[in-house]
Amino acid sequence: MAADVVFLNGRVVTMDPAQPRASGVAVLGNRILAVGDDETIRAAVGPNTRVIDLGGRTLLPGLNDNHCHPVYYGFNLAKIDASPSATPTLDSLLERFAEAAAKEPAGNWIQGRGYDDTRLDVKRHPTRWDLDRVTPNHPAILTRTCGHMSVVNSVALRMAGITAETPDPPGGRIVRDEHGEPTGLLQEHAQDLVRKLIAPPTVADIKEALVAAGERFLSMGITSVAEASLRTSDELAAYQELRREGRLPVRVYLMMIIDNTLDAMEQLGVRTGFGDEWLRIGPAKLLQDGSGGGRTALMSYPYPDEPDNYGIAVYTQEYLDEAFRRAAAAGFQGAAHAIGDRAIDMILTAFERALEAHPQPDPRWRIEHCGLLRPDLLERMRRLNVIAVPQPSFVYYLGDSYIRNFTKEALALSYPARTWFDMGITAVGSSGTPVVPADPWVNIRSAVTRLTQDGQEMGAGQAVTLDEALQMFTINGAYASFEENIKGSITPGKLADLIVVDRDPYEVEAVDLHTVQNDLTMVDGRIVYER
């Protein structure tokens, strides 16, 4: 049988233990037809076959970013880039806001994303008064890299009616100065007091953002993603319309936020797994705490120099128990954002109670991030077959702040990939973008080296091998969405989602893995990106 596309003369890393390496792959339609040596694969060349000579380059399965925010990522591409690389100083950050304000009519929102107070030259959060200097006539909002807190200016505070007398909302904190005056920093659900004032995007806007994000993913060799926070019917409509139009760039697994979607899903009888190979309903999800870098992750002990700060618990144990009990009864995989050890403890308790009340034959429930563990929590994860969904590049981009915020003993089990593999706990790779950049090879380097931006080692002993890191971003990601039988490895019969990189990562020094470049991306048997 003649193939449509044949790859020859390469180093094929299959991630399939039955045939770990090959030199050629044949593709027919949207499926992998054959994997083997060049002689075997040449037999599939017909008169209309496109033959691609890899010239010794490496062919891998398409990569899977199993926890990211494509909608937000797409929209953030149009916002002020306040990341440390773009605006390393407070003055440069404010200059960007001033430039944006000069182009917008008074009253329009000015929005930025990506600052990291620990890497700004002033080593603090910007304040309302900083933003006021450059946006006196516009409401302005600047979101931290983690997404769990934002700084707003005085115009935005007035519009939201936030004063010194405004109480903290449930699951949120209005940060105040020594006089009780709001500084403009809003943590967790306190952000909603301002965000609700910003006009929501239309379905057309969301579709445009998803296409923009998808093109970036494809250029990096990412062919599957998990949307970590689907909240609205418009977001679901945008995904569905792109799928119907054949314009969905990457395969998507949708995490449905319980507070926003579970009622409707229960009534409709929709559950995890509904959909197709391009767009599928995933778990029912909640966010239980904040970020480690921002000191809002929920801990069982206080943060250094802040004896009263244990982080933020978004929900009570009773609420978590009931929410996940309903999710289990409705046939959903469960998932929860939990970074601090206390948050993970509460989530595991809720998972245990839900699955005891409504057992599932193959639950594969997930803890997103799963940042700071204890031995007892790891044992509970193993017993429940809970999947860990970390973002290894948090070590690189955020690790220096973690080293300041946590003890060496706590960091020994921070995002503990080595321990997960050794204990048989499935660990899945992801980026969390736009929290940090989506570049998968920075992610893989971080998993293998555990090095921060400043060259410190975070969580000594928790590094994994390159093989294991690639598993996290391929076959393990497929397992986390119940799709290991159709993708995640280069195996005959599986979907033809393939990438070509410019060199063999197994011959690259671990500290240089971030220099690996994606040359070609194939999704569903079609070449959709070439460098």
Full 3-state SS string of 324-382? HHHHHHCCCCEEEEECCHHHHHHHHHHHHHHHHHCCCCCCCCEEEECCECCHHHHHHHH
Q: Which three-class secondary structure state does DSSP give residue 114?
A: strand
Residue with tokens 């994997």: 35
Contact 156, 194 (CB under 8 A): yes
CA distance 528 to 523: 7
Angle at 20 between CA 17 and CA 22, to 5 degrees: 150
Contact 308, 331 (CB under 8 A): no
Residue 1: predicted pLDDT: 86
What's CA 220's distance to the chain center, in Å?
15
CA distance 71 to 69: 6
Residue 504: predicted pLDDT: 97
- Say if pTM beats, i.e. exceeds, 0.85: yes
Cα dihedral value 492, 496, 501, 503, nearest 10: 10
Share of the chain above pLDDT 90, in %: 97
Q: To the nearest whole number, what is the mean pLDDT of the chain?
A: 97
Of 421, 274, 251, residue with least CA distance to 333: 274
CA distance 141 to 252: 29
pLDDT tens digits for 97-144?
A: 999 999 999 999 999 999 999 899 999 999 999 999 999 999 999 999
Per-residue confidence at 250, pLDDT binned at 50, 70, 90?
very high
pLDDT tens digits for 271-306?
A: 999 999 999 999 999 999 999 998 999 999 999 999
Per-residue confidence at 467, pLDDT binned at 50, 70, 90?
very high
pLDDT tens digits for 57-69?
A: 999 999 999 999 9
Non-local CB neighbours of 10 within 8 Å, separated by 6+ positions: 23, 24, 25, 54, 55, 56, 57, 58, 59, 500
- Both tokens of residue 456? 């410190």
Q: Beta strand 182-188 with 149-152: parallel, antiparallel or unpaired?
A: antiparallel
Residue 319: predicted pLDDT: 98
pLDDT tens digits for 480-514?
A: 999 999 999 999 999 999 999 999 999 999 999 99
Residue 398: predicted pLDDT: 95
Q: Is the pLDDT of residue 78 over 90?
A: no
What's CA 122's distance to the chain center, in Å?
28
Per-residue confidence at 188, pLDDT binned at 50, 70, 90?
very high
Residue 399: predicted pLDDT: 96
Residue 379: predicted pLDDT: 98
- Using only C-alpha atoms, the chain has a radius of gyration, in whole angstroms, of 23
